[in-house]
Homo-oligomer: A and B are copies of this chain.
Amino acid sequence: MADNGIAAATCPIPISKYPQVMLAHGGGGKLMHQLIEGMFVSSFENPMLSRRHDGAVFDVDRGRMAFTTDSYVVNPIFFPGGDIGSLAVNGTVNDLAVCGARPLCLSTGFIIEEGFGMEDLWRVVSSMKRAADAAGVVLATGDTKVVDRGKGDGIFINTAGVGVIPDGIDIGPHRIGEGDAVILSGDLGRHGIAIMAAREGLEFETTLESDCAPLADAIFAMFDRGVRVNCMRDLTRGGLASALVELSEASGHAIRISESAINVEEDVRGACEILGFDPMYLANEGRFIAFVNAEDADLALDVLSGFEAGNGASLIGRVGKNPDARVVLESSIGADRIVDMFSGEQLPRIC
């Protein structure tokens, strides 16, 4: 496995003594406290954590807050462009951001299988810390459970997040209206194909990396520059297609998109052709769609172009009449087709 720059020598738990996580590391006794204090609290250090309380305590101003959760069970846990730790931070930060919320703090719940490598745990924790710093969020409270060998799969991580929605921001399916421009923030499907390639040992001409990235800065730049954003959704499991269908149903509006406006990298397109996948359904971990007032579409694209996470953003469609709630894709050869959610299972444990 790639080292990601984290040497075993920096691990605060003595690896020669405890090369693997043991059941006692989740038992509530001395070893658990050594793990929590030595690895988690010291890595994630911040005033909320350092109170050693059963929960984080923080002040808020009158206003609106957002609250979200995701569990991460991705397999493999290390992949080109990220790992389960960066995914667990970015995924939840992004769920807050697409609610229009500035991420404030995250909780982390680890479920670790007995025998999981202590050095791998340290790499994951270090990656969470880097991702949290990059996203400007603190890891404020946490929990660690260890399950017996064969009853888990290395490590699962749950993160929940709390964020603050600034005054004047109101984002949600109820705000989608006829004529809204649909902006896609970048190319599709790299996360899905990168995970599959890592799992199956596929090789590409270039290294295909996950798109895993925090989105809050790009999203808040749109607000700051005056883009009237009505709704957003980050594209994870189920991909662009599922997000569009969900929002079409939730808003009662038709959505019409153009296949040729959707950016897909050559390697991703090639992998899809060989493997029979459709990029519309591939998972992403650093992409979102935004529904903005039609006259703000160019401004939105201009703002996004200033961010790595918005590189490759494009206007992919328009919102149609209410109550014709369906998603129509105009294919590159000019034919229309109805987009539906997929049935069955495309690629399990992608996030």
Instruction: Name the prevailing secondary structure of the A interface residues.
Output: mixed
Binding site for B on A (CB under 8 A): 22-24, 26-33, 51-73, 75, 95-96, 98-99, 101, 105, 107-111, 140-143, 145-148, 150-153, 156, 158, 160-163, 165, 172-174, 233-234, 236-239, 242, 246, 250, 283, 340-349
Query: CA separation between A111 and B113, bound complex, in Å?
Result: 14
Of A27, A63, A95, A238, chain B has the most CB atoms within 10 Å of the CB of: A27
Closest 3 CB pairs of A and B: A28-B237, A28-B238, A55-B68
Question: CA of A86 to CA of B51 in the docked complex: distance in angstroms?
Answer: 28
Residues of B near A32 (CB, < 8 A) are 237-238
Q: How far is the CA of A22 from the CA of B348 in the complex (A)?
A: 10
- Cα separation A247 to B57 with both chains bound (whole Å): 17
Contact B55 A95 (CB under 8 A): yes
Residue of B nearest to A67 (CB): B56
Chain B CB within 10 Å, residue with most, of A26, A55, A156: A55
A99 touches B54 (CB 8 A): yes
A10 CB to closest chain B CB (Å) equals 26
- Considering the complex, give the chain B residue whose CB is closest to the CB of A98: B54
Are B348 and A27 in touch, CB under 8 angstroms? yes
Q: Which of B69, B108, B250 contacts A108 (CB 8 A)?
A: B69
CB–CB A67/B61 < 8 A: no
7 contacts between A and B (CB under 8 A): A29-B346, A30-B343, A57-B99, A69-B108, A70-B143, A145-B156, A150-B150
